[in-house]
């Protein structure tokens, strides 16, 4: 009963969040920095968001870059924001924090409630400094993101820190207040994701969007985060394309975000040329990234992404009773009855269409870009989470390399980044990686233009 009451309470919070003013969609030429901790640094949500723009708005080129560092709290973000974020000249930035600011082992202490209050107050006080830094850059549009939750209710092996997420919610409250006061955008990952966790745990107590450590969302969690962000931008309810054809009347009733020409209708079926203005969104079916085990596609079971954001619909009325095969460019895609064509066929869910395969190639290119960018973020981690404390920030000298090698023996985090740093400390290598990323993005924006297709719907 207690869990049910919490579930209902969180749903009410979600209703409040969904009523907020939408964040404006990105436009041509926007440079967007996603700033945060390891959930941003090693996470895919911003990459999934960019993939949506690559496929849904193929002529609207935007640039999205990762501004996360593992382990960061507000204090660390203040330290690096000038050189690591502002220096890269974004005109839009998102900011999320709270997971590390709220503490960890303190929640096992006898005075955990008091320690949590102190942590929240410290986070708030530090945020006043960061908030002023943001105000000092009026040329940058800000979007505050309330952190994804710490899952303290899933019944999994990892023991939870009691009431840690309660503290993150308190941080989310002053994040939202700051966004409102400053007329900045605000997107809430925290409360909607908590609501999904609680809802799914009613039938599967081990369910979580927050990964095996309760902190770092797996690919499904990041897909949910991307969905929440895009929904916050008001992008729900916009079809990839929509075609409605009257086969008996031999006419096109309606087109949305596409062009239909050369319609031919006969007793055996119909044929027409089809040019969409967008591509379907390719949802990854494999887990990717450090310690990932759940693919993004699993998110489709808990969010209405397909219904709200990934519909490429073909409606055909007036077909004689029977079954009809749908072909695109001569390739058989599937067979449906006349009644099913009347209800509509969603091509975006069919991985064998030529347009889905085109989009899938973009997904893999985007993943290559993501992997290269991760190397650059690992280099930045070494700078701010290790070398800064040794007085060696951005020195990248043999002495810095010696220091890394020395501490890698006993420091697991330094050891994980050691090999990458041996290469990344050379500016020529980093420039080569940036050039690779640019070449990949150039290729994406060359290859993401929809092509004219020939669609046939023929009686079996």
CB 119 within 8 A of CB 171: no
SS3 118: helix
Length of the chain (residues): 460
CA dihedral angle for residue 115, residue 119, residue 122, residue 124, rounded to 10 degrees: -130
| Residue 16 banded pLDDT, cuts 50, 70, 90 | very low
Token pair for residue 62?
């935007």
169-213 tens-digit pLDDT? 999 999 999 999 999 999 999 999 999 999 999 999 999 999 999
Mean pLDDT of the chain: 95
pTM to 2 decimals? 0.94
Q: Which residues contact 448 (CB under 8 A, 6 or more apart)?
A: 54, 55, 58, 279, 358, 359, 362
Other C-beta atoms lying within 10 Å of the C-beta of residue 133 = 14
| Residue 289 banded pLDDT, cuts 50, 70, 90 | confident
19-65 tens-digit pLDDT? 444 699 999 999 999 999 999 999 999 999 999 999 999 999 999 99
Other C-beta atoms lying within 10 Å of the C-beta of residue 233 = 19
pLDDT over 90 for what percent of the chain? 94
- In order, the DSSP letters of 229-287 are HHHHTT-TT--SEEEEEETTTTEEEEEESEEEEEEEEETTEEEEEEEESS-------S-
Token pair for residue 400?
């810095």
pLDDT at residue 291, rounded to an integer: 84
| Residue 15 banded pLDDT, cuts 50, 70, 90 | very low
Q: Which residues contact 175 (CB under 8 A, 6 or more apart)?
A: 98, 127, 144, 145, 146, 186
Over residues 259-270, the mean pLDDT reads: 96
Dihedral-angle region of residue 436 (phi above 0 means left; psi in -120 to 50 means alpha; beta otherwise): alpha
3-state secondary structure 331-359: EEEEEEEHHHHHHCEEHHHCCCCHHHHHH
User: Shortest CA distance to 29 belongs to which of 89, 84, 82, 81?
Assistant: 89
Q: How many CA atoms lie within 13 A of 232 on its CB side?
A: 24
Structural domains in the chain, sorted by start: 2-10+28-232 (3.40.50.1110), 241-285+302-356+450-459 (2.60.40), 358-447 (no CATH)
302-325 tens-digit pLDDT? 999 999 999 999 999 999 999 999
CB 102 within 8 A of CB 124: no
CA dihedral angle for residue 293, residue 67, residue 360, residue 228, rounded to 10 degrees: 80
Q: What is the separation, in whole angstroms, between the first and last Cα of the chain?
A: 55
- The residues facing 25 across adjacent strands are none
- In order, the DSSP letters of 149-207 are PP--S--SSSPP-TTHHHHHHHHHHHHHHHHHHHT-EEEESHHHHHHHHHHHHTT-TT-
């Amino acid at each position: 009963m207690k869990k049910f009451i919490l579930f209902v309470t969180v749903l009410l919070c979600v209703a409040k969040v969904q009523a907020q003013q939408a964040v404006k969609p990105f436009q041509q030429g926007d440079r967007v920095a996603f700033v945060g901790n390891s959930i941003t640094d090693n996470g895919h949500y911003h990459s999934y968001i960019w993939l949506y723009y690559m496929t849904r708005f193929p002529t609207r080129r935007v640039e999205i870059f990762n501004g996360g560092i593992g382990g960061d709290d507000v204090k660390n973000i203040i330290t690096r924001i000038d050189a690591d974020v502002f220096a890269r000249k974004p005109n839009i930035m998102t900011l999320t924090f709270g997971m590390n600011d709220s503490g960890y082992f303190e929640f096992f202490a006898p005075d955990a409630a008091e320690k949590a209050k102190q942590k929240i107050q410290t986070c708030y006080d530090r945020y006043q400094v960061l908030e002023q830094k943001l105000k000092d850059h009026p040329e940058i549009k800000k979007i505050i993101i309330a952190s994804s939750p710490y899952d303290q209710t899933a019944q999994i092996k990892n023991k939870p820190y009691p009431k840690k997420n309660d503290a993150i919610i308190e941080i989310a409250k002053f994040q939202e207040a700051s966004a409102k006061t400053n007329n900045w955008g605000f997107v809430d990952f925290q409360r909607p994701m908590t609501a999904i966790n609680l809802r799914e745990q009613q039938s599967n107590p081990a369910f979580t969007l927050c990964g095996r450590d309760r902190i770092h969302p797996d690919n499904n969690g990041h897909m949910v985060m991307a969905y929440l962000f895009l929904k916050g931008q008001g992008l729900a309810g916009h079809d990839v394309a929509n075609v409605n054809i009257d086969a008996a009347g031999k006419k096109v009733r309606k087109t949305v975000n596409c062009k239909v020409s050369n319609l031919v209708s006969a007793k055996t079926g119909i044929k027409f040329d089809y040019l969409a203005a967008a591509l379907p969104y390719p949802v990854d079916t494999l887990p990717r990234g450090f310690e990932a085990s759940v693919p993004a596609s699993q998110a489709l079971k808990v969010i209405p992404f397909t219904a709200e954001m990934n519909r490429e619909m073909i409606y055909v009325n007036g077909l004689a009773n029977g079954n009809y095969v749908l072909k695109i460019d001569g390739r058989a895609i599937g067979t449906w009855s006349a009644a099913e064509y009347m209800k509509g066929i969603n091509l975006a869910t069919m991985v064998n269409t030529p347009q889905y395969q085109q989009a899938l190639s973009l997904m893999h290119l985007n993943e290559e870009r993501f992997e290269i960018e991760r190397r650059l973020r690992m280099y930045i981690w070494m700078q701010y989470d290790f070398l800064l404390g040794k007085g060696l920030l951005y020195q990248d000298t043999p002495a810095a390399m010696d220091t890394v090698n020395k501490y890698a023996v006993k420091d697991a985090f330094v050891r994980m980044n050691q090999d990458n740093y041996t290469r990344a400390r050379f500016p020529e290598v980093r420039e080569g990686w940036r050039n690779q990323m640019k070449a990949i993005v150039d290729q994406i924006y060359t290859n993401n233009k929809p092509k004219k297709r020939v669609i046939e719907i023929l009686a079996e």
